[in-house]
Every structure is written in C-alpha cells, then in structure tokens.
C-alpha cells in the first residue's frame, strides 16, 4: 500500500530520500512482509468479546417474568448470560489503514461461560461452573461439535440456555434467594473465548489469542414487614353505657419501602354504627422504620 502511495507522490513532484526512508521504515514496522505478501498487524485493532447478563423474576408481575432490580427473600430468580461478538478487527469497526480489511472474517470461539455472585453474604459460594452447551446452536456455528463460534455478520451472539421447560424456559440458570437474605446481591456473567485471527488476506496470524469478559447484574433483596399495635380502652362504665375506644400504630419494620397500605377493622360482633371489615385508613407508603398513628375508633358496647 505504502509503496504505491510513494510512487504516486514521486510522479507528482520531488520527495527527499529522507522522507522515503521514514515512510518505508514505518510501513515495514507496522506491516512487514512474508514471502512478498503484506502481513497485517494483529495489534492494530481491538479483539474483544462481550458477556450480556440479566436477572428475571416475577416480583408480583404475573404471569410473565420481568427484568427486575428488586426481589423478595425466597423468590426464584432466573439468570441469563450470553457471549456477544465484539471483535473490531472482524466487523470492520476499526479505521486503521493497517488493519481495515486485514481481518475480515475474524471469529471468536467460546470455550467457557458461567455465573457467580459477589458482594453479598447470602450466596457467598454461588458458582455455576461451565454452562457451555450446544442448545439452540446451528451445527455450522460450532467448532469441534461443541464450541460456539461467533462471526460477523453471521452468528453474532450465543445465548446460553440450560433450562428448557417450566416457568423460566430458555434461561441460563434458576436460583432461589435464601430466606433471611437482604441487601444487594451482585450476579456476574463470565465468558472465556479465543480469537481465531484468520483472514482471507493473511493466513499467518492464526494465533488464538485469549478473550474474556464479565458483566454484572445487581439486585436488591427486600424483606417487607409491617408491625401493628392496637390498644383498647373503656370509659369505665358497664353494660349499655360502656364505650370502647382503640388506637394503634403501623410501622414499616422490614427492609424496603411498603406502599398502598390499607388498614381494616374486623369484629366478631358488629357494634352499632360499624361493619366488620370496614376501612380505617389507607397509607400511600411507609419508608423503613417509619410509623403512622391510626385514627381512634369509638364504638358502643353491645
């Protein structure tokens, strides 16, 4: 490439010998030659892979799973992890004159894919081990019959699937959040692969560089809980003259905000002017530790 450029410059005017020497040295330093063929620099563009990771749960959104950031202790959570093609050399995403076109067809072979957790005490040893399999992968996109091979523009994403039935069909893994768990749990998806570095223009860089990537998905585990107090008093009279009143409080004594709270009163015998199940109050939300006094209820004894 450079030699043609230099000749064109010479035909249009004078170039000093020093300029020619600098250009030639630069060209050979970056490209080099093997048997008279231009050799592309494998470090001139970015070889990479991505590992999209997700977490799904119901979290009251039945019947379909939702992408969640908040779950309850005891919930079942579905995890997904994929390997995504991200090789700039193979997808034409690098504009360097020393790599553009050199690695067209460069591919990434996935060898290991797994999930594990960090930053929590609920699942300190969670690690799925290698989940790699061929479920859903066309045989033409496999190396050795078992390793998915990613390419551009053909097969760009391997979606790992180990669960093939039930509510969480077509996900990588399902795990139950332990009861008593609270706070942030970080799930990480990890992918290992190697880069083929093949090219129709150059067969001299079939190196097999290692590639790896990680992505994280944070979820917050909440344990909603309401604590209610109720105090009854009488006016000290007996029989039909007795009047009963009660007061109380409601407190968010769990983890996480509780919203749309409705308080109702129930009686074994309905007093005059009241009905069992009547609404006492409704509260839009309570933050953790926040309390609200309930309005007094007064009734005639029966």
Does residue 114 share a domain with residue 65? yes
Number of compact structural domains in the chain: 3
More confident residue, 59 or 23: 59
d(CA 251, CA 224): 11
Tell whether 37 is covered by a domain: no
Cα–Cα distance for residue pair 54/170, rounded to 1 Å? 13
Residues 192 and 114 in one domain: yes
Residues 164 and 267 in one domain: no
**Residue 211 belongs to domain spanning:** 42-222
Would the pLDDT of 15 be above 70? no
* DSSP-based helix, strand, coil % in the chain, nearest 5: 10, 40, 45
The answer to whether residues 236 and 118 belong to one domain is no
Residues 133 and 265 in one domain: no
* Same domain, residue pair 209 and 234: no
Torsion angle, CA of 274/277/281/284, rounded to 10 degrees? -160
The residue among 8 and 99 whose pLDDT is bigger is: 99
Higher pLDDT, 144 or 21: 144
Residues 7 and 135 grouped into a single domain: no
Is residue 99 pLDDT above 60, yes or no?
no
Q: Look up residue 235 and give its two tokens.
A: 């006016």
Q: Clarify whether residues 251 and 170 are in a common domain.
A: no
The reply to whether 230 and 217 lie within a common domain is no
Q: Which of 173-187, 191-205, 281-295 has the lowest mean pLDDT?
A: 191-205
- pLDDT tens digits, one per residue of 196-241: 865 544 444 445 678 999 999 998 888 778 898 888 888 777 777 7
Same domain, 127 and 173: yes
Same domain assignment for residues 190 and 257: no
Shared domain for 50 and 75, answered yes or no, is yes
Q: What is the mean pLDDT of residues 252-275?
A: 82
Interacting residues of 4 by C-beta distance below 8 A, sequence separation 6+: none
pLDDT of residue 300: 62
């Amino acid at each position: 490439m450079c030699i043609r450029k230099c000749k064109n410059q010479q035909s249009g005017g004078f170039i000093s010998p020093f300029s020619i020497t600098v250009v030639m040295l630069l060209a050979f330093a970056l490209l080099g030659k093997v048997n008279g063929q231009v050799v592309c620099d494998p470090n001139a563009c970015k070889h990479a892979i991505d590992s999209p990771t997700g977490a799904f749960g119901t979290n009251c959104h039945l019947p379909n799973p939702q992408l969640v950031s908040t779950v309850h202790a005891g919930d079942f959570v579905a995890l997904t992890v994929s390997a995504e093609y991200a090789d700039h050399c193979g997808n034409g995403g690098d504009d360097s004159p020393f790599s553009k076109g050199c690695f067209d067809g460069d591919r990434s072979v996935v060898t290991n894919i797994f999930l594990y957790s960090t930053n929590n005490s609920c699942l300190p040893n969670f690690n799925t081990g290698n989940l790699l399999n061929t479920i859903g992968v066309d045989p033409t996109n496999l190396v050795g019959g078992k390793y998915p091979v990613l390419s551009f523009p053909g097969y760009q994403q391997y979606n790992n699937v180990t669960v093939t039935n039930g509510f969480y069909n077509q996900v990588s893994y399902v795990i139950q959040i332990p009861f008593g768990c609270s706070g942030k749990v970080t799930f990480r998806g990890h992918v290992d692969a190697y880069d083929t570095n093949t090219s129709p223009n150059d067969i001299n860089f079939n190196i097999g560089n290692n590639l790896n990537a990680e992505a994280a998905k944070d979820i917050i585990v909440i344990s909603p809980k309401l604590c209610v107090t109720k105090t009854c008093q009488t006016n000290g009279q007996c029989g039909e003259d007795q009047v009963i009143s009660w007061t109380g409080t409601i407190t968010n004594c769990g983890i996480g905000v509780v919203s749309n709270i409705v308080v109702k009163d129930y009686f074994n015998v309905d007093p005059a002017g009241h009905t069992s199940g009547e609404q006492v109050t409704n509260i839009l939300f309570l933050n953790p530790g926040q309390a609200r006094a309930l309005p007094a209820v007064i009734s005639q004894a029966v």
